[in-house]
Amino acid sequence: MNDAVSRENVARKLADVGLSLVERGNQSGGVDHVIVGDTFPHRELIKRLGGRWSSSDKHWRLVEGFAGPGLAEAPLPGPGGGHSWGGKHYHGHRRRLRDRFIETSPASLADYELLELLLFFSVHRRDTKPIAKAMIERFGGLGAALAAEHARYAEIPGLEPPREEDGDEWTKNRTDDLHFTSVLLKAVHETIVRVLKEPIRTATPIASWSALTDYLQASMAHGAAEQFRILFLDRKNGLLRDEVQSRGTVDHTPLYPREVVKRALELSASAIIMVHNHPSGDPTPSKADIEMTRQVIEALETVGVQMHDHVIVGKNRHLSFKAQKLI
């Protein structure tokens, strides 16, 4: 087989899977025949055609002479692609799940299926169902999976960091999967929090206690460490500012009454709602919580600022000091 025929056959087989063969000059003054396009799903086909991965140039090129051992007989991949990432069934599954989401009620999807659907947009050509199920199991629910710290996604089977021996292209795709999954899920979580905050931010006065607690649950319930948040209110009980005052450890965060008073005066606030979370999930106040609340109330009274409530946020519920007659 001469070079022209060989080149034509290779180009045809590559074109059938959406790839192109182009000539590029190399450093030695010769020409490399480089495969262009989304090569990753078609690695096995490219190898059979005589392709070799260049770690230095980060591309696939054909060896001199186009003499791949199976050139004439190299089969084209069937529907689903020609790669080896856990089978080909997930292509049809992705389409079916998307169709279910669009054509039926989204509420019909299980939590792991909704998460799986999101992962379609961040995980590179792999079955996302086991990843979604592992997230739900590891973090304890859909909300907790969306709110998890960036670093914790690397604990999930299928998103763990690649090994050195995996090779450059595998490593790049695994690294991208983890990065884009983290960005996507954190963006979705932040979007949910902002949507829930809108009626609180725009209403004067804050009209709905349930809207407020929904927002606080979404933004704080799944934190790995305690944090104190203060909502500063104006004379009409409209929201002036929503600020995290301090972050601490898994079971403690410091809050200094004088700093709360100082910030209230800076904002000309007339009242505050104090909020903190319990990462343990149990919103029952400790003696230290009750004593600290009393100290903040006394400090605020000296400058004529009221504390309307202190809310402790747990995993699935919250506790109001006012409702419990603790203030």
Q: pLDDT tens for residues 20-71? A: 878 777 777 777 788 887 777 777 788 888 888 877 777 788 875 554 444 3
* Strand, helix or coil for residue 228: strand
Question: Is the pLDDT assigned to residue 107 strictly greater than 90?
Answer: no
pLDDT for 1: 43
Q: Pick the more confident residue, 163 or 164.
A: 163
Mean pLDDT of 282-310: 94
- Predicted pLDDT of residue 170: 52
What sign does the dihedral 227-154-196-109 (CA atoms) show? negative
Res. 270: pLDDT tops 50: yes
* pLDDT exceeds 80 at position 183: yes
Q: Which ranges in the chain belong to alpha helices (H)?
A: 3-15, 43-48, 89-103, 111-119, 129-139, 142-147, 168-202, 209-220, 257-266, 287-301
Q: Are strands 31-36 and 20-25 parallel, antiparallel or unpaired?
A: antiparallel
> Is 60 exceeded by the pLDDT of residue 82?
no
Nearest to 14 by CA among 64, 68, 58: 68
Q: How confident is the model at residue 271 (pLDDT cuts 50, 70, 90)?
A: very high
- Dihedral sign of CA atoms 308, 310, 314, 318 in order: negative
At 172 the pLDDT is: 64
Name which of 35-49, 96-110, 172-186, 263-277 the model is least confident about: 35-49
Provide the CB-side half-sphere exposure for 98 (13 A, CA): 10
pLDDT value at residue 18: 75
